[in-house]
Amino acid sequence: MSGLQARPTKFFAYFELQDACKEEGCPVCFLVVKISLRSLDNLMWERVNDPTTREDLIASRGFCNWHAWMIPQVPHSQSGTAILHEHLVREQTGTLNRLRRTRSPIRPWTRLFRRLVGPVDALTAVSGGEGKAPCAICTHVRSFEATYLQTCLEYMTDLDFQRSFEGSSGLCVPHLYLAVSLHPEHPNLPALFNQQLAKMEALRIDLQEFIRKQDYRFRKEPMGDEGTAWRRSIELLTGKAGVFGPDRPLAIVETPQPRQPEAGAEAGTTPPGAHLQEQNERLRFENEKLRRRIDEITKLWSQESSRAASLHFQVFELSKDKQILEFNLAGVRGESRAWEPVVAHLREEIAALKEKIKRLKRTESEQ
């Protein structure tokens, strides 16, 4: 559909994939949903009254079920939806009226025609002999999807991307097989397979642990990460909800069309300035990678600085507590020394009383 966002370059797709790896589930599925919402938002704001957009939507009879029910998630989409759907309802009303006429009592010549040419599907007949076109948003998103899968493979050996991908849930099985079908001879496929096998084995172990804890003998054991394993397995095997709907079969793979040489340029020659543009784009790409790495190191340094400051504060507080304890101990010791003369005097008095008692007892015995 004309007017929607252009297909991203592989460098731009690299950073989008890297950010998507921080999200839960398949990063390509996440981006397909994100691009779908962005395309719907663009259409509702800028393409509502565009004649070409109307023709595309009439040919596809609107959006597929998944993208149609995604519209309520687009902010302020009520007006655009009403404008587009009023036109679509009007078109479908005309189609239904033509279909109703085909169901009227069959005349002899109509019966003869059907015998000669065979049965004709009513919907095909009233729609001008053309079937339903695929959802326009699905068709638009498919080119993004192919770019993301190609970028994922090309940078699977890039250290920064490897670290991001290792922290993700990996690709879902449909996107994994789609990547293989699009690039069956890509040299980085083994690296992708190794990553995926490790993640699938970890998920299988979580599923086994979840199953074990369903046994009445182990139900009292607390659940860990395995508690969400059953839900994660759904997305791994089928992708995010709605991403692989009826309008987006895996069997349809678009073949990229070769670029036509510009006017005045000879076949096999590089257009002037193309090498400089490619070099400039690569420099921007490396600069963005470096900037993100610096941001990551700065964030880690900030976290370590905060942790160090917290430890210094704790040491300071402990030093204050130590000083207070030493002061209290010195006070107790001082008080104990102050009572020593009193205790000594009491001991002397007790000794004197004992001696006096002894004398009294001797005197009493002599008498």
Contact yes or no for 17/152 (Cβ under 8 A): yes
Q: Which of 237, 254, 271 is the last residue of a domain?
A: 254
Looking up tokens 């009292």, which residue turns up? 220
Contact yes or no for 178/31 (Cβ under 8 A): no
Q: What's the pLDDT at 180?
A: 92
Residues 189, 336: one domain? no
Residue 208's domain spans which residues? Answer: 10-104+119-254
Contacts 24+ apart (CB under 8 A), 158-167: 160/18, 160/289, 160/292, 160/293, 161/14, 161/17, 161/18, 164/17, 164/18, 164/21, 164/22, 165/21, 165/27, 165/195, 166/195, 167/21, 167/22
Nearest to 145 by CA among 271, 30, 298, 45: 30
Residues 354, 235: one domain? no
Instruction: Look at residue 141 and tell me if it is in a domain.
Output: yes
Q: What's the pLDDT at 151?
A: 92
Residues 88, 233: one domain? yes
Q: What's the pLDDT at 120?
A: 46
- The DSSP H or E segment spanning 8 is none
Instruction: Look at residue 331 and tell me if it is in a domain.
Output: yes
Q: For the chain, how far is it from start to end, CA to CA, in angstroms?
A: 135
Residues 222, 353: one domain? no
Instruction: Look at residue 54 and tell me if it is in a domain.
Output: yes
Q: What's the pLDDT at 129?
A: 41
Q: Which residues of the chain have pLDDT under 50?
A: 117, 119-129, 248-253, 256
Q: What tens digit of pLDDT does each residue of 304-362 get?
A: 888 888 888 888 888 888 888 888 888 888 877 888 888 888 888 888 888 888 888 88
Looking up tokens 């008692």, which residue turns up? 357
Instruction: Look at residue 346 and tell me if it is in a domain.
Output: yes
Q: Which of 234, 254, 274 is the last residue of a domain?
A: 254
pTM summary value: 0.62
* Tokens standing for residue 106: 């069959």
Instruction: Look at residue 111 and tell me if it is in a domain.
Output: no
Q: What's the pLDDT at 192?
A: 92
Q: What's the pLDDT at 354?
A: 87
Q: Is 309 helix (H, G, I), strand (E, B) or coil?
A: helix
Apex CA 253: angle with CA 250 and CA 258, to 5°?
A: 165
DSSP 261: P
Q: Number of structural domains, the chain?
A: 2
Q: What tens digit of pLDDT does each residue of 273-315 get?
A: 778 888 888 888 888 888 888 988 998 898 888 888 888 888 8
Q: What's the pLDDT at 10?
A: 64
Residues 237, 333: one domain? no
Q: What's the pLDDT at 252?
A: 46
Residues 126, 207: one domain? yes
Instruction: Look at residue 271 and tell me if it is in a domain.
Output: no
Q: Which of 254, 269, 292 is the last residue of a domain?
A: 254
Instruction: Look at residue 262 and tell me if it is in a domain.
Output: no
Instruction: Look at residue 112 and tell me if it is in a domain.
Output: no
